[in-house]
Amino acid sequence: MRRLPPLGTLRAFEAAARHLSFKEAADELGLTPTAISHQVRLLEDYCGEKLFRRRPRPLALSDAGARLFPAIRDGFDVFASALPSLRTEADARPLRVTTTSAFASRWLVPRLSLWREAHAHIALSIIGVDRVVRLDTDEADLAIRYAHSLPRGASREIFRDQFYPVCSPKLLAERPIICRASDLRGYPLIHFDWFANDRTAPNWERWFEMASATDPGARQGCQIALSFREELHAIEAVLAGHGIALCSDVVVADDLASGTLVKVLDVALPGYGYYPVYAVDHPHRAVIELFVEWISTATRPTIIARPQTTRVSVR
């Protein structure tokens, strides 16, 4: 293990030896000449040698000081050349953003061209996974958490979604008109798994329970035809026309805007919030906050809505 004096004593000595002046060293380091003299004396005590001849003036290095100065000066020169290269590498590293697979795939990726137009010099690395990526292990710089309430480390909510029954228009083309929840009994329903033990999950059971308040026959004969573990797989099944699923109006926003998917009924369950989480002392906090501000205000890509050809009646 290296035994070294305090860094402050080495900095004070190197500056004083380079300028041969305690005053000029103090000006460079933002200290007082008295503080420089104190640091030099601490180093002299550590070395057991006088490092300067203080009298008669001007200030001069002692023999011990003349031997020590080149080693410390060269060491600081190495630090000075090495640190900028590390900073350059850090600045060139992409901003690593983690969020859920569905949000990354269906909402974030389609809007990345808008980010590139505004901030082409800042590269991004998108980590779309449904596990919670830890920030304290340097896996990512920023997390967009999906949670019921403010998660640990978050300071605000970006937006919040709702879950509507949606499907492809082609599924509705040759089937009975849907006017109320009980009309879904003639349609295949699609389910995907939610967080374990989450009693507030926006699933079909809760949706029919809510709908039955105004439509007592809502649950009769309505069964799940397809079930998926992953939300993205369920959405793909809906897009393919295989059935109706409860989908986030954030995740399928572009599909609803284009008419690729339609809301079957205007009855929604409350969803979750999207929260930015990052370390307040992160070295690239300014870039992170720039991205958070962008994602908070990003608009959907311009999409020409397709003409509606369905026979859906909405209450």
Task: Determine contact, residues 178/189, Cβ cutoff 8 Å.
Answer: no
Give the pLDDT confidence score for residue 177 in this predicted structure: 85
**144, 261: one domain:** yes
Instruction: Tell me the residue range of the domain where 65 lies.
Output: 7-87
Looking at 29, 53, 87, the residue that finishes a domain is: 87
Query: Is residue 275's pLDDT more than 90?
Result: yes
Higher-scoring residue by pLDDT: 186, 246: 246
Mean pLDDT in residue range 169-195: 89
Q: Measured between alpha carbons, how far is 307 from 150 in angstroms, rounded to an integer?
A: 40
311 within some domain:
no
pLDDT interval class at 313 (50, 70, 90): very low
Give residues with Cβ within 8 angstroms of 94, minimum separation 6: 123, 124, 125
Residue 121 maps to a domain: yes
In a domain, 240, yes or no: yes
- 108, 125 contact by CB (below 8 A): no
> Does 229 or 307 have the greater pLDDT score?
229
Predicted pLDDT at 197: 73
Q: Which of these, 182, 222, 177, lies nearest to 204 by C-alpha position?
A: 222
Kindly state the average pLDDT of the residues 267-294: 93
**Mean pLDDT, residues 236-252 taken together:** 96
Same domain? For 23 and 162 the reply is no
Q: Do residues 259 and 114 both lie within one domain?
A: yes
Q: What is the CATH number of the domain that holds 70?
A: 1.10.10.10
Is the pLDDT at 42 greater than 90? The verdict is: yes
Give the residue with greater pLDDT, 131 vs 89: 131
pLDDT of the residue at 200? 86
Q: Nearest-5° angle of CA 288, CA 293, CA 296?
A: 125
Stretch 157-171: mean pLDDT: 95
Per DSSP, 248 falls in state E
How are the residues of the chain apportioned to helix, strand and coil, as percentages rounded to the nearest 5?
40, 15, 40
| Direct distance between the N- and C-terminal alpha carbons of the chain, in angstroms, rounded to an integer | 76
- Round the average pLDDT of the chain to a whole number and report it: 87
Predicted confidence band at 86 (pLDDT cuts at 50, 70, 90)?
low
CA distance linking residue 109 with residue 126, whole number of Å = 9
What tens digit of pLDDT does each residue of 101-141 get?
A: 999 999 999 999 999 998 988 999 999 998 888 888 778 99
Amino acid making up residue 189: L
The more confident residue out of 196 and 54 is 54
Rounded Cα distance between 151 and 145, Å, is 8
Task: Give the CATH number for residue 164.
Answer: 3.40.190.290
| Domain membership flag for residue 244 | yes
265 in a structural domain: yes
Residue 217: pLDDT band with limits 50, 70, 90: confident
304, part of any domain:
no
Please give the pLDDT value at position 232. 96
Asked whether residue 303 carries a pLDDT value surpassing 80, the answer given is no
Q: Does residue 259 sit in the same domain as residue 161?
A: yes
Same domain, 224 and 118: yes
Structure tokens at 84: 């900028």
What percentage of the chain carries pLDDT values higher than 90? 63
Whether 217 and 253 share a structural domain: yes
Residues 144 and 248 in one domain: yes
Look at phi and psi of residue 126 and say left if phi exceeds 0, alpha if psi is from -120 to 50, else beta: beta
If asked whether residues 144 and 241 sit together in one domain, one would say yes
Asked if residue 101 is part of any domain, the answer here is: yes
- Do 74 and 184 have their domain in common? no
pLDDT band of 222, cuts 50, 70, 90 = confident
Among the residues of the chain, which ranges form H helices? Answer: 7-19, 22-29, 33-47, 63-92, 101-103, 112-118, 169-172, 204-211, 231-239, 253-258, 285-297
- Of 64, 87, 110, which one is at a domain's C-terminal end? 87
Winning range, highest mean pLDDT, from 82-91, 173-182, 238-247, 276-285: 238-247
Quick one: average pLDDT of 34-44?
Answer: 93
Mark whether 222 and 165 lie in a shared domain. Answer: yes
Q: Rounded distance, CA 87 to CA 297, Å?
A: 30
Q: How many structural domains is the chain composed of?
A: 2
pTM of the model: 0.68
Is residue 47 assigned to a domain?
Answer: yes
Residue of higher predicted confidence among 89 and 112: 112
Residues 66 and 123 in one domain: no
| pLDDT band per the 50, 70, 90 thresholds, residue 307 | very low
- Is the model more confident about 302 or about 83? 83
22-29 vs 7-19: helix axis angle to the nearest 10?
130
Same domain, 255 and 118: yes
How far is Cα 179 from Cα 98, in angstroms, rounded to an integer?
A: 40
Reported as a single tens digit per residue, the pLDDT across 8-28 is 999 999 999 999 999 999 999
Domain boundary among 62, 87, 112: 87
